[in-house]
A = this chain, B = another copy of it.
């Protein structure tokens, strides 16, 4: 029997500065059965990502559900491409149940590994790390690679990819717990604690005496500026995200003149330009994880009522790895 009652989270106020609980409203709604070409999904894992904060300021509609990636189980279908019991992922929303067009969903193959990985390491998160590090950063044996938010969802993969490609990898993370994690569990060669009180510029100079060849940036602002002062000749910078700047009005500025003639390349890439690479990537990453070459940590909260606290915690740097919320059980 398919459910008829849904619970969802609406964006009801645009955040000014720091996002807080007052921006969201929980609501119950009836669900109609799926129409032709549609599928009805019981959501299992909902994604919490820093970039959502940016879209809450402008792109997302007020009074509407918040679009996020989710993994769920098909509970009713009006399309021949999916059967009841199939596990799928798609851009759904922070809600218990979703109705989606079959054309917008992708089957998740449980033989490839954990189901949740379809929206983390084996999904767009992992692809983001792959494109930024391998296509833009292009680490080579002997290179020094720096990754910020090194313990985070994307950074943790980016750093491990650079290590597999033969580079020396230095992570930047906040706090002792993350710094140890990055070196001990993720195999980084060194890590810098930006909260330690030591100047980041000095720490970078110590950790990267020959300069930084590749920088994978997840945070922007002060950290980016410190790395710009330590670049080697011909450095490649993959600019992925800027969590430090998402909630700030007066943003950190950079003197670009210092890069003159440096041979440096900075690319502000968007993963949406690379979605065609996802199918091949899924297979590749499943193999790397299966062989233990990439280890991946997820930071999973439980319960639909915890979606907002889990999301807000991202901006306090709470999470070790990819933050997800489990809102119902795996099949």
Contact = CB atoms under 8 A, between A and B. Distances in A.
Contact of A268 (B251, B264, B269, B272): B264
A203 to B, nearest CB: 21
A163 B318 CA distance: 52
A127 B112 CA distance: 50
A260 B265 contact: no
Interface residues of A, number: 30
Contacts of A260: 54, 220, 239, 241-242, 245, 268
A256 interface: yes
A270 B266 contact: no
Given A254-B256, A257-B220, A273 B263 contact: yes
A259 interface: yes
Nearest to A258: B251
A310 interface: no
A291 interface: no
A248 to B, nearest CB: 8
Interface in A226-260: 234, 239, 241-242, 245, 251-257, 259-260
A268 B262 contact: yes
Contacts of A255: 251-254
Interface of A: 54, 220-221, 224, 234, 239, 241-242, 245, 251-257, 259-270, 272-273
Q: Which 10 A-B pairs have the closest CB atoms?
A: A253-B253, A245-B257, A261-B270, A259-B268, A265-B267, A266-B266, A251-B257, A262-B268, A251-B255, A264-B268
Given A54-B260, A239-B256, A265-B266, 16 more contacts: A220-B257, A234-B273, A239-B260, A242-B257, A245-B257, A253-B254, A253-B255, A253-B256, A259-B268, A261-B268, A261-B272, A262-B268, A263-B269, A263-B273, A264-B267, A266-B266
